Structure 1
Amino acid sequence: MAIYHALKARQLHKRNQNKPTLVITNDLLDTLYAQQGNYRLARRHTAENRRLEAQLRQQEQEAKVAELQGRYDTKEKERSIQLLQQQNRITQLAALQQRTLRNAALLTAGLLLLAVGVLVNRYRLRQRTVQQLAAQKQVLETRDQEKELLLREKTLLLQEVHHRVKNNLQIVLSLLNTQVNTLHEPAAIEAIRDSQSRVQTMALIHQNLYQSESLARIDMLSYFGELTEAISEAFRQEAARVQLHVSVEPLQLNTHTAVPLGLIVNELVTNALKYAFPPGYPDQRVWVTLGQVEAGRYQLVVADSGVGLPASVVPTKVASLGLRLVAGLAQQMKARLEVAAAPSACFTLTFRELPQTPVAA
C-alpha cells in the first residue's frame, strides 16, 4: 500500500513537475523497494533521483545565475537610470544654459538695437537741427547782408548829405565873403563876419561827420581844434597877438550836443578875440577846455586873461547877440552856465549829453 500510494504521489508530482517533492517520493520508493528486495527498481529510482538532483542543482545554479544576472541587470539598469538622469540633468542644464544664452543674446541684441535706434534718432535730430541752424544762419546772413547793404547805402547817403550841406555852407560862406567885400560900414562888416563864423561852425560839424566813420558822434578833440583854427583864420588880425590854448579830452559826443557846444565856443572865443584885449594889453591868452568831471557829466570852460566883463553883465539880458545866443544854447542843452566877470572873463558850462532823438516834453 505504501508503494501504491508513493507511485500515485510520484505520478502526481511528475505531472506537476514538482521535482523537489518528486525526489522525496523517489527516495521513499527507493527505500520501500529496497525493503521489498526489489533492488532493480530501487536503483532505478535512485538513478532517477540523481538525475533529478542534478537537474535541481542545475536549476538552482541557473536560478542563482539568473538571480545574479538579475541583480547585475538591476544594478546596470539603476546605473543606466542614474546615467540617464545625469544626462537628462546635463541636457536640461545645457538647454537652460542655451536658453539663458539665447535670452541674453536676444536681450543684448535688443539693447543694441535700442541703442542704435536712439543713436540714429539722435543723429537724425542733430542733422535736422544742424540743417535748421544752417538754414537760420543762411537767413540771418542774408538779412545781415541786406542790413549791411542798407546800412552802407544809408551811410553813403548820409555822407553825401553832409558833404552837400558842407558844400552849401561853403557857398554861403563864399557869398558872405563876397558881401563883406562890397560893404564899407564897420558894423555891417562885423555882423557879416560873425555870421560867417557861425556858418563855419556848422560847416565843420558836417565836415567832421562826412570824414568820420561814425555819422552820429563827433570827435570833440578834432572838432574843437579845427574850430579854433577856423576862428583864428576868420579873425586873423585879432588872433595874431593872442595865444589860443585848446585842451580837450578824447571824447565823442552826439551831434545834438556837439552843435550847440561848437556854437557856444565860437561865440565866446570870438568875443574874447574882439573885446577882451584892448590895444597894448600885455597878456593876451584864451583857454578852451573840455573834459568829463564824472560819469555822464561834462564841463566846458572858456576863459581869457583879458580885462574881464562888467559886474552887471547878465548873458540873457545884454544887448550882445553872441552872449544871448550862448545863454539860449545853454538853456537848450539844460546845462548850468556860470559866468565869472573879474579879474578876467571865465565861462563854465556843466552839462550832460543830450539824447540823440529829441524827447517830447
Structure 2
Amino acid sequence: RIEKALKQYAEQLEVSNKIKEEMERVVNSSPVIVFKWRMEKDWPVEFVSENITQIGYTVEDFISGRIKYADILHPEYREKFHSRLEQHPDIRSDQFNQEYRIFTKSGDVRWVDERTFIQTAPSEKNILQGIILDITERKKAEEALLKAEEIRKKEIHHRVKNNLQVISSLLFLESENFKDKEIVEAFLDSRNRVRSMALIHEELYQSGDMSTIDFADYTRNLLNFLTRSYFMESKNIKLNSQIENVYLGMDTAIPLGMIINELVSNSLKHGFPDAIEGNVNVTLELDNNEFTLQISDDGIGFPENINFRQTASLGLQLVTTLVEQINGTIELERNGRTSFKIHFKELKCKVKV
C-alpha cells in the first residue's frame, strides 16, 4: 500500500512538474513579465520570470539584490510609488493598476502597464504579485492620435477664422454701396461683431491647448482693431486695457469679446461727439473666483433719460443678452463718466504664472 501511494504521489508530482514547466514556457514566451515584490522600501524582488531579458536584465540581477525594482523606475514615478506603499501598511488584500515609465538595462525608456495584487497572511508582511507589460508602442500611437487631433482642431479654428474674415470683408465692401449713414453704420457694426469672433478663433489657433485663450492678448488685439475701424488715431481717443492674466474658455470668451466690442463701439460712436481726445478703459479683475469686467469712458456720459436694459439699440440689447448667457450681472454707473460693470464666474479659467 505504501509503494502504491508513493507511486501515485510520484505520478501526481510528475504531472504537476509538467504543468509548471508548461506554464513557465507560456509565461517566458509571452510579452508579460511576472514579478513578486516585497512591500518594502525600493521594492526588493523575490521572483521575476525569465523573460525579463526582453528589457535587458537577468533574473539574477534582481534575485541577488543588486537591482531593486525602484532602481529601474523613471525618477518622476519613484516618489509616487513610495507614497503608494505608505498608503497600504495594513491592507490584507488589494489590487491596483497603473502605467508608468521604466529604464531598460541599456538606458532606454519604456512605458509599462502594471497589474498588481497585494496579499499576505495575517502573520506575514505584505507581498506584491503582479505583471508588467510593455505598452510603449501603444503610447506612441496614442501620442500620434493626439497630435493629429491637435492639428485637426488647429485647422478647424484656422478655417473658421478665415471664413469669418471673408464675411467681415464682404460686409465692409457691401457698406460702400450705400449712402445712408444709418445703413452704413449697421453694416460696419455687424462687421465688427464678426471680427470680434474671428479674433477668438485666431487666439485659439495660436493657443497651446486650444480650449482656452489668453484674454489679455485677445482684448489688446480687439481694441487695436476698433481703433483702426473708427479712425481713432486722428482724434487721439485712447483705448486702454488692464486685463487680469487669465485664460478663458471659448464659451465665455466669445460672448465676453462681443460685450467688449459693443460697449467700446458705443463709447467711440456716442461718447465723444465733439472732443478730439479722450479715454476708453477696459479692465478685467478676478476676486474670490468672481470676475469683474468694467468698460468706462470719460466722454459726455450716458443719457439720463435712457434705460440701457430697455432700448431700441441692437448693441445694448446684445450686451444684456450676452451677460445673461454667461450667467452674469450688469450695472451702469454715472458718476461723471460712463461705466458698465459686468460680474460673472468662469469655472474653467486658468491664471497665468
> Structure 1 length as normaliser, TM-score?
0.60
For each residue in 1:35-68, what CA deviation from the matched residue of structure 2 results, as whole angstroms up to 9, or x when unmatched?
Answer: xxxxxxxxxxxxxxxxxxxxxxxxxxxxxxxxxx
The equivalent of 1:320 in structure 2 is: 313
What is the count of residue pairs matched by the alignment?
Answer: 235
The equivalent of 2:226 in structure 1 is: 231
Question: Relative to 1, partners in 2 of residues 1:245 and 1:142: Cα closer, same or farther, differing over 3 Å?
Answer: same
CA deviation after TM superposition for structure 1 residue 351, in Å: 0.8
SS of aligned partner of 2:283: strand
Taking the TM superposition and a 5 Å limit, the aligned residue runs for 1:203-222 are 203-222=198-217
CA deviation after TM superposition for structure 1 residue 237, in Å: 4.7
Question: Match of 2:283, as an amino acid?
Answer: T
For each residue in 1:220-260, what CA deviation from the matched residue of structure 2 results, as whole angstroms up to 9, or x when unmatched?
Answer: 11100001001111111587331111111211111111111
SS of aligned partner of 2:264: helix
Aligned counterpart for 2:48 among listed residues 101, 126, 131 = 126
Aligned counterpart for 1:293 among listed residues 287, 306, 314 = 287
**In the alignment, is residue 306 of structure 1 matched against residue 228 of structure 2?**
no
The equivalent of 1:334 in structure 2 is: 327
The equivalent of 2:126 in structure 1 is: none
The equivalent of 1:170 in structure 2 is: 165
Q: CA RMSD in A?
A: 2.6
Whether contact under 8 Å (1:333, 1:354) holds in the other structure is no
Whether contact under 8 Å (2:332, 2:339) holds in the other structure is yes
CA deviation after TM superposition for structure 1 residue 127, in Å: 4.3
Question: Match of 2:189, as an amino acid?
Answer: D
Whether contact under 8 Å (1:310, 1:341) holds in the other structure is no
**In the alignment, is residue 262 of structure 1 matched against residue 257 of structure 2?**
yes
Q: 1:250, 1:140 → 2: CA distance?
A: 39
Flag structure 1 segments of 5+ consecutive residues without an equivalent. Answer: 1-119, 357-361
CA deviation after TM superposition for structure 1 residue 173, in Å: 1.3
> Structure 2 length as normaliser, TM-score?
0.61
Q: 1:199, 1:121 → 2: CA distance?
A: 63
SS of aligned partner of 1:243: strand
Q: Which has the larger radius of gyration?
A: 1
The equivalent of 2:343 in structure 1 is: 350
Whether contact under 8 Å (2:328, 2:343) holds in the other structure is yes
Question: Relative to 1, partners in 2 of residues 1:144 and 1:135: Cα closer, same or farther, differing over 3 Å?
Answer: closer
The equivalent of 2:143 in structure 1 is: 148
Question: Relative to 1, partners in 2 of residues 1:221 and 1:125: Cα closer, same or farther, differing over 3 Å?
Answer: same
Whether contact under 8 Å (2:284, 2:293) holds in the other structure is yes
**In the alignment, is residue 182 of structure 1 matched against residue 177 of structure 2?**
yes
CA deviation after TM superposition for structure 1 residue 121, in Å: 8.5
**In the alignment, is residue 278 of structure 1 matched against residue 273 of structure 2?**
yes
For each residue in 1:253-293, what CA deviation from the matched residue of structure 2 results, as whole angstroms up to 9, or x when unmatched?
Answer: 111111111000000100000001121x3751110011212
Larger displacement relative to structure 2 (163-172 or 334-343): 334-343
Question: Relative to 1, partners in 2 of residues 1:135 and 1:315: Cα closer, same or farther, differing over 3 Å?
Answer: same
Greater helix proportion: 1
SS of aligned partner of 2:188: helix
The equivalent of 1:109 in structure 2 is: none
